[in-house]
Amino acid sequence: MAKILLAEDDPSVRGFVHRALEMDGHEVIATEDGGLAAEAALEHEGQFDLLLSDIKMPVMDGIALSLSIAAQYPDITILLMTGFADQRERAHGLDALVHDVVPKPFTLADIRAKVAEALDGREAEKVTLAQSMGA
């Protein structure tokens, strides 16, 4: 299975996603902010298949982390998560770097499916902002 770098500042979400990904047999390195995730990427010499990051985090947000990871390790697929519409809109400017943005809250099945889609290289299902916000 895949080696995944997870960056999420909320401990409950981080634990939930970590367990979900391990259920699918993935190796997960979990960090609590973008700065620590960037350090982990360096320590592991970029040997990750996927970066799964929250957008809004302290120290280094997911957008800055994505830009840094994409510049250093262009083969890593990037998947972002956010519960904030304005943050989701910021990420849409990075279409060439980011596979998709997963809206929070999400279910166990949602995050597992999105990760599988990103790892398989399938085209992300495009969802409008209104759809992602439940409208």
Q: Which has more confidence, 125 or 80?
A: 80
pLDDT of residue 85: 63
What confidence score (pLDDT) does residue 90 get?
63
**Could you list the residue range(s) of the whole structural domain that residue 66 is in?**
3-132
Question: What is the average pLDDT across 88-111?
Answer: 81
Q: What is the CATH number of the domain that holds 113?
A: 3.40.50.2300
Cis peptide before 58 (omega within 30 of 0): no
Average pLDDT over the chain reads 87
Which pTM was predicted? 0.87
Inter-CA distances, 12 with 15, 58, 101, Å? 5, 16, 19
Number of domains in the chain: 1
What are 31-57's pLDDT values in tens digits? 999 999 999 999 999 999 999 999 999
Chain centroid, CA 87 distance in Å: 13
